[in-house]
Chains A and B, each alone.
Chain A
Amino acid sequence: MLSTERLCACYGMFQALFDVSFAIGPGEVVALIGANGAGKSTLLRAIVGSVPVPASAVRLDGAAIGGRSEIVQLGSGIALVPEGRRLFPSLTVEENLQLAAHNGRDGPWTVARLYGELPALEALKARPATALSGGQQQLVAVGRALVSNPAYLLCDEVSLGLSPVAVDAVYGLLAAVRRDGIAIVLVEQNVRRALASSVRYYCMQKGRVVLEGQSGNADYARVSAAYFGI
């Protein structure tokens, strides 16, 4: 169980999160829905240690793990796919993956297994990572987090700006991840897609959780209202 408890986070003087309580169980898929600036990315960044927070604000199986560095969190099995993919342009596709695989934990997801799931990627492995199409880059970005063998995979806007075909490919990969029992947090602008792919959802607005529930019986009108703040 990965959770936050009344989490507040600030960028300097600006407070981005207010008392956010969020939880995801092992193997669960949870969607995080909200408009731009609602604090979804900040929440993920606070969990992985890119935004300073008190130790007790983030818990993993009961232990207070807030405020530890990204490197420690990765070692505890929490990996982030950052918004905008952020692949290393000086590294090839394979090198991007190798770097993460080397620094991450041991487990079922290896670079070879990833190529097995995505044969098209193997053909491109010697290319500079940012020379790929947006969809392929997104697959590499998810793969890069995956080969560190996390127990919790935090995905920030993995379908943003992609063609429908490319989005399907990314969600196809996530389905394989889910079958392995890896928990996934989905930050998604596309509300229908988010609800369809998740078990539970949280809706955020202006740094607060304003609505949460089971994705299966979510009232689309209420989610939209929470999303837009009307």
Chain B
Amino acid sequence: MQIFAETLLNGLMLGALYALFGLGLSLSLGVMGMINIAHGDLIVVGAYLTSVAMGLFGIDAIAALSLVIPAMFVIGWLMQQLLLNRVVGRGPLAPLLLTFGLSIVLQNLLQEIFTADTRSLQAGDLAQLGVNISGVSIGVLPLLSMLVSIALLGATHWLIGHTHFGRQARAVSDDPDTARLVGVNDRRFFALVTGFIFATIGIAAVLYAVRTPFSPTAGPERLLYSFESVVLGGLGNIWGTLVGGLVIGVAQLFGAKISSGLGPFFGHLVFLVVLLARPRGLFGRAVP
């Protein structure tokens, strides 16, 4: 029973991180109709940036966030302005090809600069702390990471629902041509959105890197889990992405309990079974 509860809790905490991975994908798909294949690699880039910032300034991972978040925002803004805006709105294939190429370039750049060795980030004293709830022990760091993920998903949901930023996002998503008629500068807005997405990637990267060692080729697997969270939850639904991430995380950890190498496999299995039963995902809207 205790093992069951521990596995469940750890799965939920891991799953919340997957949901945070998925948030950026969900936004770029929802607002720009674009899938970023390099999403996972950008998470790894964020992890390396953090590692570099920690080394340069002698700060811990949490403090490094204050540098990594703005840096990632600027990288995202520039990438959209200089690169992605050239392909957005031209059907699904062009962005897929471009970001697929970007993914390969990023992986090789990281390998060139940082070698293929695995790295990990030290979270300092936080990593050692744990709380004990009626016999079930939980790490403080994963717990904090889950709370941050949920808070970010909630904040984004609020932003989309209640601000000018969100109204622009929904309008562009509904009808980009008409959005221009009411003064939404879609290209400039997309740069802002991608900056925002990259900032969330920066946060996700730190939360990921303090719990799992990473290497330049770790990106595609992160992309896969992000995708599974988004699709499982149903496209265009942020809370759906959270539930999707939680389901994948729990399935992976229970799978790993059955046999240590089978974690991701069980995640994929649950993903497939759910999609067979509900092709639009758990909370997907019906396509009119």
Contact = CB atoms under 8 A, between A and B. Distances in A.
Interface of A: 48, 50, 69-71, 74-75, 79-80, 82, 86, 88-91, 95, 98-100, 102-104, 144-145, 148
Contact of B175 (A71, A80, A86, A148): A86
A148 B170 CA distance: 19
Given A88-B170, A91-B170, A95-B167, A103 B182 contact: yes
Considering residues B180, B181, B184, which has the most beta carbons from chain A within 10 angstroms of its beta carbon?
B181
B171 A90 contact: yes
Given A99-B164, A102-B164, A82 B181 contact: yes
A104 B182 CA distance: 7
Nearest to B179: A88
A101 to B, nearest CB: 9
Nearest to A97: B182
Contacts of A91: 167, 170-171, 174
A29 B185 CA distance: 29
A88 B177 CA distance: 11
A91 B168 CA distance: 10
B89 to A, nearest CB: 14
Contacts of A95: 167, 170
Nearest to A79: B181
B99 interface: no
B168 A99 contact: yes
A145 B164 CA distance: 17
Q: Is the interface of B mostly helix, strand, loop or mixed?
A: helix
A65 to B, nearest CB: 16
Interface in B172-226: 173-175, 177-185
In the A-B complex, list the 6 residue pairs whose CB atoms are closest, starting with the nearest.
A103-B183, A90-B170, A70-B180, A100-B182, A86-B178, A88-B174
Considering residues A75, A95, A98, which has the most beta carbons from chain B within 10 angstroms of its beta carbon?
A95
Nearest to A104: B183
A82 B173 contact: no
B174 A71 contact: no
Interface residues of B, number: 17
A80 B183 CA distance: 11
Contacts, number: 64
19 contacts: A48-B181, A71-B183, A82-B178, A82-B181, A86-B181, A88-B174, A88-B175, A88-B179, A90-B174, A91-B167, A91-B174, A98-B164, A98-B167, A99-B168, A99-B182, A99-B184, A102-B164, A104-B183, A145-B181
A113 B179 CA distance: 23
Contacts of B167: 91, 95, 98-99, 102
Contacts of B174: 88-91
A48 B171 CA distance: 19
A158 to B, nearest CB: 15
Contacts of B175: 86, 88
A166 B4 CA distance: 63
A71 B178 contact: no
B183 A74 contact: yes
A151 to B, nearest CB: 15
A50 to B, nearest CB: 7
Contacts of A98: 164, 167
A88 B171 contact: yes
B195 to A, nearest CB: 19
A148 B183 contact: yes
B134 to A, nearest CB: 45
Nearest to A102: B164
Contact of B181 (A75, A80, A102): A80
A99 B167 CA distance: 7
Contacts of B170: 88, 90-91, 95
Contact of A69 (B168, B182, B185): B185
A148 to B, nearest CB: 6
Considering residues A71, A80, A102, A104, which has the most beta carbons from chain B within 10 angstroms of its beta carbon?
A71
